[in-house]
Each structure stands twice: as C-alpha cells, then as structure tokens.
Amino acid sequence: MRAIAAIVLLSAAPLTVSTGTDPAKEGTKRLEADIPYAEGGDENKLDLYLPEQKEFTTIVFTYGGGWHRGSRKSVAAIGEMFQGLGYGCVLPSHRLGPKDKFPAQAEDMAAAFAWVYRNIAAKGGDPKRIVLMGHSSGAHLSLLIATDPKYLATHKLTPADISGVIGLSSPVDLEPRKEGKGFGDALMAGRGADVFSRDTTVMRDASPLRHISKKLPRTCLIVGERDFPMLEGDAKAFLEKATAEQAKATLLVAKGRDHMGTVQALLEEKSDVRESVQEFLAKLKK
C-alpha cells in the first residue's frame, strides 16, 4: 500500500531537474527552441540542443509526469548535459491528460521521433543513431513506440529506425493484476489511470511488455534499488522476454536510488546511472 500511495502522489507532480545554472547564460548557444513537430500548440513542440561535433548521436528525452503533467522545459538541464558530452538532445513535449486521452501521448512521441529522423541530418546529426530515452511515464512512451510498431507506422517508419532505447524507472506493464500489486493497480487507485480512460484493455495494450519481439531495438533499463518495488520485477520480466526473443537488453538496478533518484543521478558526473548510459551510447557509435 505504501508503494501505491507513493505512485499516486508522484503522478500529481512533474519532475524538474536542474544543474543550478542559468539557461539564459549557459548551454544555449546551440539551442533551437520551440520547434513545431506536429500541428498543435506548445504541447507539440520540441527544443533541440546541438553539439559542436558533426554526425553526432541524438537522444530524444521525454520527461516524466504521469502522462498528465510536465513540460520539456522542466528537463532543460538534461539537454544541456548531453549537449556538453557531444550528443544532440531533443526535448519534446506531448499532449497531456485528462483532456487528451491515451494514445495521444504515444502518437505525439512517434511524431516527434519522425521529425527528428527526417530533420536531424540537416542539423549535423546522424539519422541512423537516434536514441529514445525518458524517465517514468516518459520512459514508458519511449519503450512503447519502440515495441509497438503501429505508432511509427503512421509515419512510414518502424522500430528498426530507432537505434536504441533507455528507460529510467520505466513502467513496462500497466495492466492491473489479480493480486492487486502491479503498477496498473497503483494507477487505478489514483488519477494515473484517467489518461487511459480507466480501461484495463487499453492499459494492457499500452504495456511495452506485451509487444516485445526480436525487432526490439537495443534497450537499457535502469531502476532504482529503492524504486517502486514492482518496477524492478517488471523490468526483469521485460529482460527475460527480450532475451527469449534474442533481442539485446540490459538492466541496471541503481544502488540507493529511488524513483526520482534515477534521473537525478543522470546529472551527476560520477554515478552508476550515468556510466551505464554512456557505455550504452558508446556502443551505438560507428
């Protein structure tokens, strides 16, 4: 019950990460902000952080916020961090619940990826090295469009066009369980399920775990040692199924980290989370 209460509280507030710097003064030289990737308002725009290097790998990072809160601006520090490491970083926003019901969020992320895929070469990036990454609900969306081909198919793309996926504290199984101890049960106990119309069939189909195949892009899952307990078990189930499909996937359980700690660790120069992410990205380079 404690874990369910924590998830209910978490879904009420978006994550904001900061390096303590003033983005108006630092890290904005190569920032292209508020680019529309689809028709709509600010929720269908992205910010693009570009490094000085050419033919760079690009990370499309999606914020967490329970599918109903948050903005790309809340994770600007992550864009600056990857930019400083020589990567391109795209921070997209997406439509939010409860006004816009799922699958609007996944459709938006697919549209954002399609925009990056078709435009990053003109910015100096390599379209064959685009990585989807996110935290919490943002990680869920990243993994979903990498596993369920119908979202990218709308843009005449496939999961094979994604070079890798990194999920920080990602929910991979949203379907409520008979024993009542799954992530989906926690969502049903609060506002989290509203974006899915509180429909268990929708929640099942929205679960990346249900769509794993041998076509899964190379995947890295990271959960905190003190994260919501069902996330580690679900990540292990994801890894087991990916292995059975002969897909490449890894799992890191970050010592001492809770749900928010996994993404905060990404901004630390020395952490097992950041080291794991950098090792994963290095393997994608030519």
Query: How far is 1 from 8, CA to CA, in rounded Å?
Result: 11
Question: Residue 98, preceding bond cis, omega within 30 degrees?
Answer: yes
CATH of domain 2-283: 3.40.50.1820
Phi/psi at 76 (5° precision): -55, -35
List the one residue out of 233, 217, 219 whose CA is nearest residue 173: 233
Span 99-124, pLDDT tens digits: 999 999 999 999 999 999 999 999 99
Span 247-274, pLDDT tens digits: 999 999 999 999 999 999 999 999 999 9
**What is the pLDDT averaged over residues 181-196?**
94
- Which pLDDT band, with edges at 50, 70 and 90, does 29 fall under? low
**Tokens representing residue 86 in the block:** 């020589």
Query: How far is 103 from 100, CA to CA, in rounded Å?
Result: 8
Domain boundaries, the chain: 2-283
- Which pLDDT band, with edges at 50, 70 and 90, does 3 fall under? very low
- Residue-level pLDDT at 19: 43
Range picked from 25-29, 188-192, 260-264 for highest mean pLDDT: 260-264
In sequence order, what DSSP letters do the residues of the chain get, joined into one string?
-HHHHHHHHHTTS------SS-TTTSS-TTEEEEEESSSSSGGGEEEEE--SSSSEEEEEEE--STTTS--GGGGHHHHHHHHHTT-EEEEE----TTTS-TTHHHHHHHHHHHHHHHHGGGGTEEEEEEEEEEETHHHHHHHHHHH-THHHHTTT--GGG--EEEEES-----S--TTS-SHHHHHHTSSTTGGGTT-HHHHHHT-GGGG--TTPPPEEEEEETTS-HHHHHHHHHHHHHHHHTT--EEEEEETT--HHHHHHHTTSSS-HHHHHHHHHHHHT--
Query: How far is 119 from 29, CA to CA, in rounded Å?
Result: 19
The reported pTM is: 0.91
- Residue-level pLDDT at 17: 52
- Residue-level pLDDT at 16: 54
